[in-house]
Amino acid sequence: MIRLLAQQTLRLHWKLSKIPIVDRVYGHLLTTLHTIRSHLSYLAWRLFKTRPKLNSSSISSPVQEVRYENAASTNPSAVPGRLIVHCTFHLDLGRLIYLSETVRCLRALPFETVDIFIDTNSERTAAYLPPEETQLIRDIYVHKNMTHPFELTWAHRAHMKQVIANYDFFMYVEDDILITPQAIYLWYDRLPKLRPMGYLPGFLRVEKDRHGRLVSSDFGAPDLDPEIVIIEGDHYYQTKYPYQAFWIYDKLTMLKFAVSPSYWSGPPGFDTRERAAYGFTFDDGLRSKSLLPLDATGRLDSRSFVFHMPCNYGNRIIPHAAGFGTVSINELLQFPRLA
């Protein structure tokens, strides 16, 4: 019944958005409602210290579906070197709850130094953030006169290239992605093994659906014939869906990326925001370098998960047309074959 009502509402929304003149009034109404909702979300966040459903506390809880039994094998010492992070945030009061969680989790990553830079479209971003969180940020850069909000996702490229000599590790991340120390330890451990083979350690973006299951944000269907790659005794899945809404590279990879044609253009066939987030994922011919590690049971290693905090796809009443947010992490890989 709820799904039928949602489908009828969606059809009405589509019809209203196509009627001349009416679409202007309707669009203005939707914008107003979104603004009101954003302000209410912001007030609840500031007054009651609310956090996203997926946060640094909830994902490490034993009641969660994420399996962290391998986490004890990670290196407890810090990753040696300095990390620079550029995080994109287009001002929306309702999304500050995610930016806040992202910043706090970034500062908890196991590098010797973490310098966070925020690329935003408004001077008000700094004013809306609590003082205790602005102290975690190295600087906030305001970019104006963009023809489209997605152009903000490319604003970091010039600065990142200028400071390569000053850092050892480089990250670009969207404002609603939670990255765990376990994911970084695993990435750092596997990087020296994969990079000489032309690969990079990958991450799987996950979220929760309406039933509390962990699902993939970017798989539209299970992979019925996944390709498994074995390198130095470790098994990896060469994912067909390598989008993860962020990238992280060591200096050697970053130097190659910075002089490649894709640094300023990104891979073809994707929208502006996706091309920025794909980074150096593809080589010539759109072959993905990204490998997702498997654990001893043949499943995707949960340490490689990064979390899409809004759960936009999994929370939909009507599933996404492409199936995003509908495939459980336990159902992603079927009938694997060894390379």
Q: What would the mean pLDDT of 103-132 be, rounded to a whole number? A: 96
Q: Are residues 82 and 210 in the same domain?
A: yes
pLDDT in tens, 177-231: 999 999 999 999 999 999 999 999 999 999 999 999 999 999 999 998 889 999 9
**Cα-Cα-Cα-Cα dihedral sign, residues 245, 248, 253, 257:** positive
Q: Are residues 185 and 38 in the same domain?
A: no
**CATH number of the domain where residue 129 is located:** 3.90.550
Question: How confident is the prediction for the chain on average, in pLDDT?
Answer: 87
pLDDT in tens, 271-327: 999 999 999 999 766 789 999 999 988 899 999 999 999 999 999 877 888 889 999
- What does residue 274 show for φ and ψ, rounded to 5 degrees? -65, -40
Q: Are residues 26 and 139 in the same domain?
A: no
CA 110 to chain centre: 18
pLDDT in tens, 45-77: 999 999 998 999 988 753 344 444 444 344 455
Asked whether residue 9 is assigned to any structural domain, the reply reads no
End-to-end CA distance of the chain: 46
pLDDT at 76: 52
Asked whether residue 2 is assigned to any structural domain, the reply reads no
- Our count of domains for the chain comes to 2
Asked whether residue 5 is assigned to any structural domain, the reply reads no
pLDDT at 61: 53
Q: Decide if pLDDT at 13 tops 70.
A: no
How, if at all, do strands 227-231 and 177-178 pair? unpaired
The helix/strand/coil state of 207 is strand
pLDDT at 106: 97
pLDDT at 335: 59
Report whether 125 contacts 118 (CB < 8 A): yes
Q: What would the mean pLDDT of 144-170 be, rounded to a whole number? A: 96
Q: Are residues 33 and 148 in the same domain?
A: no
% of the chain surpassing 70 pLDDT: 84
Domain extent for 43: 15-50
Q: Decide if pLDDT at 4 tops 80.
A: no
pLDDT at 62: 39
